[in-house]
Homo-oligomer: A and B are copies of this chain.
Amino acid sequence: MSTEIFSAAKLAAPRLAAAGRAEKDAALLKIADLIESRKNEIIEANDADVCAAREKGMREVMLDRLVLTAERIGAIACGVREVAALPDPVGVVDRGYVRPDGLRIERRRVPLGVVGIIFEARPNVTVDAAALCLKSGNACVLRGGREALNSNGALAGIMRDAVESAGLPADCINFLADTTREGANAMMHARGFIDVLIPRGGAGLIRAVAENSTVPVIETGVGNCHIYVEKTADAKMAESIVVNAKTSRMSVCNAAESLLIDREALGMLPGIADALREKGVELRCCPECLAVLDGRASKATEEDFAAEFLGPVISVKAVGGVDEAIAHISRFGTGHSEAIVTSDYFAAEKFLNGVDAAAVYVNASTRFTDGNEFGLGAEIGISTQKLHARGPMGLEALTSMKYTVRGNGHIRK
């Protein structure tokens, strides 16, 4: 069954790649309309998923991610309309020049072809991902988690109807209902059919896909992000940034998981610690920091410094300057987002230049690493790899390029 779906996607891809902006936007607006007008159908399918999940004892926080209400469905439709309003990345010429022999060379953006998305329990990803693929001229194959099977199936069916009624092949959007390991495996080995695979979810999923796929993968999202409070930092700014980065939304990849603090700035630690504890955050500290905090914190293990807690815990370590901070980040960081709080020009520059991550901040919270916050419109994920795309991936990350060369009978000497 999966093979048929992959073939259908591959067949639809050139038609979608050739579609102009008007045609793609019309299909997106139709998707938004149909999602709203058929919301009862979606809620019914979602109810079945939620009931089953509740019976299986799914945790409340996960359950909350699964639930679709009329309001949330409205927000999903709204998101699709926002994608329709974004500029079309396809056809943009980002480079063009004439060679000495008169050959005219241009490089333009083209769709990737077929994009596969493997994701977990959040049904809104089904629509977000499909909309971004459609806008960038890519056919997609979506495979969500078992827990959201009914919801995802309903959403995908509605999107296929919408795309077809807008005059594009329904197979521009494909839904793989096989939520077993075999389904994921089939996608990971669909070379020649799927051009790129984007896993969205936990670290385990992403690792499994990256290690097993023969289709090229874009890795997303694992973030062990650090805030380094340098000795010249403004104490109030440091506290505000650390609290924001750690607590404004704990479950996301751009949240801070570790605080590095200069030995000469340890005087700021009690204040920062109080502010964090007020938000319910547990501090796991190196011995030096523990001493400063008079035992009102626990002792950090090596694992704590490597952990992406995604919850109310932060690791804390004293360091002896920027170089030591960079070395620690290089050892424990995941190349996502790293920040320094400082008033020192040279410390700021050293940190910006020396830290190897998708986004490096001076005097700002790591929570800004996000497609919308970076002004990219929507995002398909945050790449933590170095190939193709790094950091928040907008529509451009869903394109490749093509050289066009215009001659006048040119032959190579």
A interface with B by C-beta (< 8 Å)? 14, 17-18, 97, 99, 103, 105, 107, 110, 112-113, 191, 195-196, 210-212, 214, 216-218, 234, 237, 240-241, 243-245, 248, 330, 348, 352-354, 356-365, 367-369, 373-375, 385-388, 390-391, 400-412
Contacts and interface: CB of A to CB of B under 8 A. Distances in A.
Contact of A401 (B216, B353, B390): B390
One complex includes copies of this chain to the number of 2
B361 A240 contact: no
7 contacts: A110-B356, A234-B409, A356-B402, A359-B403, A361-B407, A363-B408, A368-B410
Given A330-B14, A358-B402, A407 B375 contact: no
A388 B390 contact: no
Contacts of A367: 411-412
Chain A interface mostly helix, strand, loop or mixed? mixed
Contacts of A103: 364, 368, 373
A406 B351 CA distance: 12
The 6 closest A-B pairs by CB, nearest first: A364-B407, A244-B411, A386-B400, A367-B412, A364-B410, A388-B388
Contacts of A411: 240-241, 243-245, 248, 364-365, 367
Contacts of A107: 391
Nearest to A355: B402
Scoring A97, A240, A388 by chain B CB atoms within 10 A of each residue's CB, the highest score goes to A388
B409 A364 contact: yes
Contact of A112 (B97, B212, B330, B386): B386
Contacts of A244: 411-412
Contacts of A210: 191, 214
Contacts of A386: 112-113, 195-196, 400
B401 A17 contact: no
A60 B218 CA distance: 43
A296 B251 CA distance: 72
A387 B211 contact: no
A196 to B, nearest CB: 6
Given A196-B386, A364-B409, A358 B403 contact: yes
A243 B410 CA distance: 12
Contacts of A112: 386-387
Contacts of A195: 386-387
Contacts of A409: 234, 237, 240-241, 363-364
Contacts of A407: 361-365
A373 to B, nearest CB: 7
Contacts of A401: 390-391
Contacts of A375: 97, 99, 105
Given A18-B354, A196-B386, A362-B406, 17 more contacts: A99-B375, A103-B364, A107-B391, A112-B386, A113-B356, A216-B216, A216-B387, A240-B409, A360-B403, A363-B406, A364-B405, A364-B411, A365-B407, A367-B411, A369-B403, A390-B400, A390-B401
A412 B248 contact: yes
Contact of A99 (B353, B365, B373): B373
A269 to B, nearest CB: 19
Contacts of A390: 400-403
Nearest to A238: B409
Contacts of A362: 404-407
A377 to B, nearest CB: 13
Contacts of A359: 402-405
Scoring A110, A367, A412 by chain B CB atoms within 10 A of each residue's CB, the highest score goes to A412
A18 B353 contact: yes
A403 to B, nearest CB: 4
A356 B241 contact: no
A391 B95 CA distance: 14
Contacts of A113: 356, 386
A389 to B, nearest CB: 8
